[in-house]
Amino acid sequence: MLINSFAVAGEEVNLYSARKEALIKPIVDKFSEQTGIKVNLITGKADALLQRIKSEGRNTHADVFITTDAGRLYRAKQAGVLQPTQSDILNQVIPANFRDPEGYWYGLSMRARPIFYVKDRVKPEELSTYEALAEPKFNKRICIRSSNNIYNQSLVASMIAANGVEKTQQWANAFVKNLAIKPKGGDRDQIRAAAAGQCDIAIANTYYYGKMINSKKADQKKAAQAVAIFWPNQQDRGTHVNVSGAGVTRYAQHPENARKLLEFLASKEAQRWYADINYEYPVRTDVEPSALLKSWGSFKADSINLDQLGVNNAEAVKIMDRAGWK
Ligand code: FE
C-alpha cells in the first residue's frame, strides 16, 4: 500500500518544547516528512510551559512535553500533567536508567556534568571524585553556578543516592567553603572564570564545553582551550549524567501520534542528529557520539535511575540551602 502525506491528511501532534526551536524543529520536520503527521511546535521556558500545561488542564493542546533534566521531567510527572506511554520500541532502545520506570517520560539525549580543570594550574592526578572537591586542598579554587539551578540540584540528588543525606550535607558544608567566588551566571561562565584565573576548577555540562570549543567568539574558544575535562568517580559509581527527554501529556488529544513522535526521536537517525546538534550524547548505546565528544575520551557514567534525581530533589535543595550555597 502506498502511504503518502495525503493518506494521513489531518493527522497532527502538538509539541510543547522547552528546547529552542533550532534544536528541535529540523528533526520534527523530518518526522512529518516520513509520517505525514504535522507537528505544531510551541517553544518556551521549561517552568512556564509546565505551568501552561497545568493551567490548560483537560483543554491543553499539548500532546508531548519536551524538556531538559530528569529533575524537571519528574516534576512534570508529579504535577500530574503526563501519562504513561507503553512502547516496546522505547523500552528496547532507551536504557532503563534513562526513562521513567512507569513510562511517564523517556530520555532522548544525554549530557554529563564532569569537572573542568585549568591545564596550567591543575594536574589531573590531583582530582578524583566530586566528594574530594570538599577537601581543604581545593580551598577557594572552585567555580560552580548557583544552587537554584536544576543541574546542581540533580548533581546533589545523585550524591544523596550514593552517600545518604547526612554525608551529603557534610560534603556540601565543606564544598561551599571551597568556592572561589559567589555563584553567578551559567555553566559557560564558570569555565570562563576558571580560564580568567578566578578559580582552578569548574563544574559544567559537557555540551556547553562543546559549544565553547566550536564557538565563533574568540574569547569563548580560548577559555575552553584553557581547560580540560576530568571524569570524576571512575573508580566507583561513575560521573554524574542527566538527560533531556519527553513525555506524553495526560490529556493529549493525539496520544498515538505522540507515541510515534517519541519513537521517531529514539530512532537511530534522529538520535544521531538530536545528539549532535547540541553537542550531546545519544541515549542509545548503538549510536556513537560525535567525533568531538569521542575526543574527550570514554567514561563510566553513574547508572542510577534518573528518576531518583527527582525523588531526591527536595532534600538536595534543603542541603544546599543549609550549606549556604547561594
Ligand atoms: Fe543547559
Q: How far is the CA of 243 from the centre of ligand 1 (A)?
A: 10
Burial category of 314 from C-beta neighbours within 10 Å (exposed 0-12, middle 13-18, buried 19 and up): exposed
Q: How far is the CA of 275 from the centre of ligand 1 (A)?
A: 14
Q: How far is the CA of 111 from the centre of ligand 1 (A)?
A: 9
Q: How far is the CA of 280 from the centre of ligand 1 (A)?
A: 11
pTM above 0.85, yes or no: yes
Which tens digit of pLDDT belongs to each residue from 147-183? 999 999 999 999 999 999 999 999 999 999 999 999 9
Q: How far is the CA of 279 from the centre of ligand 1 (A)?
A: 11
Domains of the chain: 2-110+243-289 (3.40.190.10), 112-239+308-323 (3.40.190.10)
Which tens digit of pLDDT belongs to each residue from 280-313? 999 999 999 999 999 999 999 999 999 999 999 9
* Type of residue found at 280: E
Q: How far is the CA of 312 from the centre of ligand 1 (A)?
A: 20
Q: Which residue has the cell 511546535?
A: 41
Q: How far is the CA of 16 from the centre of ligand 1 (A)?
A: 17
Q: How far is the CA of 152 from the centre of ligand 1 (A)?
A: 11
Distance of alpha carbon 83 from alpha carbon 105, whole angstroms: 8
Q: Which residues pair with 64 in a beta bridge?
A: 15, 248
Cα–Cα distance list, 38 to 6, 30, 87, 142 (Å): 12, 10, 21, 47
Cell of 183: 555563584
Positions in the chain short of pLDDT 70: 1-9
